[in-house]
Amino acid sequence: MCLLESVVAVEQESAHCRVTVSNLGVLAPFLDAEGNLPGWFAIELIAQTVGVWSGWHAKKNGEEESLVGMLLGGRGIRCPAGVFPQGAGLECHVTLLMRDNKIGSFEGQILADGNVLASGRVNTYQPDNNELKQLF
**pLDDT tens across 47-95, in order?**
999 999 999 998 998 887 777 889 999 999 999 999 999 999 999 999 9
Please report the domains of the chain, with CATH numbers, ordered by start residue.
6-135 (3.10.129.10)
Q: Kindly give the pairing relationship between strand 6-10 and strand 89-100.
A: unpaired
pLDDT, residue 64, reads 74
Cα–Cα distance between 95 and 88 in angstroms, integer?
22
pLDDT, residue 129, reads 80
* Whether the Cβ atoms of residue 66 and residue 132 lie closer than 8 Å to each other: yes
Across 102-131, average pLDDT = 95
Cα–Cα distance between 33 and 17 in angstroms, integer?
26
pTM: 0.94
Across 27-47, average pLDDT = 98
At 133, is the pLDDT very low, low, confident or very high (cuts 50, 70, 90)? Answer: confident
Q: Burial, 93: exposed, middle or buried (Cβ in 10 Å; 0-12, 13-18, 19+)?
A: buried
3-state secondary structure of 22: coil
pLDDT, mean over the chain: 95
E strands, 1-136, in order: 6-10, 14-20, 37-38, 70-78, 83-84, 89-100, 103-112, 115-125
